[in-house]
Amino acid sequence: MMKTIGNFLILVATVAATVTPLVSQTRANRSVVVSSPDGRTRAELSVPDGILRYRIVFDGKQVLAPSRIGIQADEVELGRDATLGSSKSRQVNERYRFFGAHAEAVNRANETTVTAQSHGQSYLVDVHVANDGVGVRLRLPAKTGRRVQADRSTWMIEGDPTIWAGKLDNSYESPYHQTTLKQLGTGNIGLPLTARIGQAYITLTEARVEDYGDLAIKLGEDGTLEGQLYADPKGWTTDAEVVQPWRVTIVAHNLTDLINTTLVENLNPPASTQLANATWIKPGRSTWQWLASGDPKETEQKEWIDWTSQLKFEYYLIDDGWEKWPDSWQAIAADAAYAQTKNVKIWIWVHSRTVWDPKDRREYFRKAVKAGVVGIKIDFPPPCSREVANWYFDVAKDAADLHLMVDFHGANKPSGMQRTWPNVITREGVRGHEYQITRYHRIPEPDHDVILPFTRYIAGPGDYTPTVFTTSELMGNTWAHELAQSVIFTSPFLCFGGHPQSYIDNSARDVLTAISPVWDETLVLQGSEPGKVVAEARRSGKQWFIAVINGSNSTTLDLPLEFLSAGSWEAIQLRDAKDKPDAWVRHDGKITRKDHIQLEIGPRGGFVGWIHQ
C-alpha cells in the first residue's frame, strides 16, 4: 500500500503562495484558535483540566460544544493530561476535477499543526478550518510495537436538536430516520449524521480512513457522541506513524451549501497528475440485470447490450453469476467485443474474497483487462477494520495501475478516497433499491429517500441503483419519485436498477436518457426539508433537471425558476398521475426564469422537469 497520508501536510504547505498569521493563542499557549478564510467559522483548541478539546463557532454561535480528541494507546490516553506547545500555520488553496454535485472542487482552508504532550509522550494535532467546516486529528510518531487500543474522539452537541441518522450496519445499509439527539438510543450509530443547530446544519463524519479502523458513534450518558472502533474492538499493533482519520464537522447556512460541500474529499491527498487527468476514468450510466432478472444468463447478454445501446448508456454491468458460465472469461471477452461494436463498455462483478490476496487480485485484474472489461464491482468486503481499510487502498492502486474503475459494494461509508484514487468512481454503503424488491419481501422506509441527500450523500457518491418502473416493484413509490432518484442520488457510475425494456418503452424515455451521471451545478430549492421532501435543480451543460422526491405525507411546493438564464426554454414536466403510481402526466411547453412550477404531491410521490434550450 502506498503511504501518502503522512506527507499530506507537507504537500499542502507548498500550495500556499504566502503564509500569514492565521492563529490566535491565549496565555501560555493553552488555547489555539483557527478561523476559516471567510472568517465565519472558527475552531478553538484548548486543554481545560488537561483534556484536549475543541469547539466550533459558526456565525458567532457555538454549533459544536467542547469535544474531545484522543487515542488510547499502550494503556495511555493521548489527549488526557495534555499540554499544548508551538504551532505552525499554512493556507490551502486548491482546485481539482470533481465528479458529483458540481464540476470542480474548491479547497480553501486555514490549517494549523500544534505540538502536544500527554504523559511525557509527544504528538501533533492538526486543525483544518474551511468555509464549509472543520477537521481535526492526531498524529502519533512511529514507535516500535505501539498498541492502538481505542479512539477517544467525541462530538458534543448541546440540547436536544433534530437529528437524521441510522443505526450502524457493517455494510452501511440501515435506513435513515429523523429523531432527536436524546432519542438516538444506546446502540452504535453509523456516520454521517446530520443535525439542525439553530439556523445552521452540521454533518458529522470522518475523512481519510487509511491504516486505521472505521469509526461509528454511540450516545454517552452525558449526551456526548463517542467514537467507536466497532470493527477493531481489540485494536491493533503497529510500528508505523499513527494518523487518525480526520474527525469532520461540516457546517452550512442552508441545504444548498450543505450538499455542495467537498470537505471530506478535500481532507484527502490529491491524486497523481496522471490519475487526476486520466481520460479512461469516465462517468457514465449503466444498465444492470440483477435487480430486474437475477443471475445473468449467458445466452441473453447480447440482448442486454443491445438494450444498453438503444438507451445510449455508456456501460453494462454483468453481475454475480457470470463466473458459473462455461469458459466464463472467454464469454466475457466475447461480450465485451460485441459491446464495443455498440459503443458500450463492460463492467463485471466479483466477490471481495476473490481479490483479497494481492497476487490473486492483480492476476484477476489482468484477466479482466485482457477480456476488455473497464470496471469492477467488488462486493461483500468484511467490516472495515484497519486491515480492511488498507485493503480498499491496495485495491484502488492495483486497479489504477491497469486502468480499471472500481465500485465497492457492501462497503463502509465513503471518506474521500476518490480524490486520491478517482478510479474508485462510486461505492454503495447505502440502503438502496435492493431493499425494494418483492422477491426479498422488503418494504422500503417511507422517509429514507428524503433524508439521504442530506446525510449519506454529504460524504460522497452512492450506488443506490435507482429508478424502477415495474408496477409490482414500486411498493408505494410513483414513477416520478423513481425517476427523481436518478437525478438526486449522485453516482458517477449511475447504475439504473430497472429493466432497460421498461425504459425504452416508456413515454418519458427522452427525459430518462438525457439525465447526466455528474453535474456542473446543484441547488436545493425552497420548500425542501430533510425527512419530508427534497427538491433540487441540477445543471449539466446547457440543460437543467428539476427533481422532487416526497416523503410519507402530502405536500405542496412553489418552485421559482430564477436560476435559469434569460430567454425561452423548452420544458418537459412529468407529474404524478392521480391514483395511478405507474403513470404520469406529461406536459411539453415553454418557460422562462420568471415562471414558477407549482406542485401538489401525494405520499411517496415526485416530479421531474427537463429544461433545455
Question: Looking only at Cα atoms, what is the longest distance across the chain?
Answer: 76
Please report the pLDDT score of residue 9 as a whole number. 36
Distance CA 341, CA 346 (A): 12
> What residue ranges in 276-423 does DSSP mark as E strands?
284-288, 315-318, 345-351, 373-379, 405-408
pLDDT (mean) for 48-70: 97
pLDDT (mean) for 87-101: 97
Cell triple for 85: 506547545
Distance CA 497, CA 464 (A): 8
Please report the pLDDT score of residue 11 as a whole number. 36
Which one, of 358, 336, 355, lies nearest residue 347 by Cα? 336
Cell triple for 129: 478550518
Q: May I ask the CATH architecture of the domain 274-477+484-506? A: Alpha-Beta Barrel (3.20)
Whether the pLDDT of residue 129 is over 50: the answer is yes
Distance CA 180, CA 162 (A): 4
Residue for cell digits 461483500? 380
Q: How confident is the model at residue 17 (pLDDT cuts 50, 70, 90)?
A: very low
pTM over 0.75: yes
Whether the pLDDT of residue 356 is over 70: the answer is yes
Contacts of 529 (CB under 8 A, 6+ apart): none
pLDDT (mean) for 55-73: 98
Q: Name the residue type at position 239.
A: D
Which one, of 464, 491, 470, 467, lies nearest residue 480 by Cα? 467
Q: What is the pLDDT of residues 389-401, one digit of tens each?
A: 999 999 999 999 9
Distance CA 195, CA 526 (A): 19
User: Hey, is 559 helix, strand or coil?
Assistant: strand
As to burial, measured by CB atoms within 10 angstroms (0-12 exposed, 13-18 middle, 19+ buried), residue 440 is exposed
Neighbours of 293 (CB within 10 A): 12
Q: What is the DSSP letter of 215?
A: -
Q: What is the pLDDT of residues 141-174, one digit of tens each?
A: 999 999 999 999 999 999 999 999 999 999 999 9
pLDDT (mean) for 452-474: 97
Q: Phi and psi (nearest 5°) for 390?
A: -70, -35
Q: How confident is the model at residue 443 (pLDDT cuts 50, 70, 90)?
A: confident
Whether the pLDDT of residue 62 is over 90: the answer is yes
| CB-based burial, 157-178: b 16+ in 10 Å, e otherwise | beeeeebbbbebbbbbbbbbbb
Q: How confident is the model at residue 67 (pLDDT cuts 50, 70, 90)?
A: very high
Whether the pLDDT of residue 209 is over 90: the answer is yes
Cα–Cα distance list, 4 to 7, 11, 402, 441 (Å): 6, 10, 20, 45
The CATH code for residues 5-270 is: 2.70.98.10
pLDDT (mean) for 188-205: 97
Within a 13 Å sphere around the CA of 316, how many CA atoms are in the beta-carbon half? 31
Q: What is the pLDDT of residues 253-278, one digit of tens each?
A: 999 999 999 999 999 999 999 999 99
Q: What is the DSSP letter of 323?
A: G
Q: What is the pLDDT of residues 273-331, one digit of tens each?
A: 999 999 999 999 999 999 999 999 999 999 999 999 999 999 999 999 999 999 999 99
Q: How confident is the model at residue 440 (pLDDT cuts 50, 70, 90)?
A: confident
Q: Where do the structural domains in the chain lie, given as residue ranges?
A: 5-270, 274-477+484-506
**Percentage with pLDDT > 70 across the chain:** 95
Q: What is the pLDDT of residues 357-385, one digit of tens each?
A: 999 999 999 999 999 999 999 999 999 99
Cα–Cα distance list, 68 to 51, 116, 230 (Å): 7, 14, 19
Please report the pLDDT score of residue 327 as a whole number. 97
Q: What is the pLDDT of residues 508-566, one digit of tens each?
A: 999 999 999 999 999 999 999 999 999 999 999 999 999 999 999 999 999 999 999 99
Please report the pLDDT score of residue 449 as a whole number. 97
Cα–Cα distance list, 154 to 61, 242, 251, 458 (Å): 20, 18, 17, 20
Distance CA 407, CA 511 (A): 26
Q: Do domains 5-270 and 274-477+484-506 have the same CATH topology?
A: no
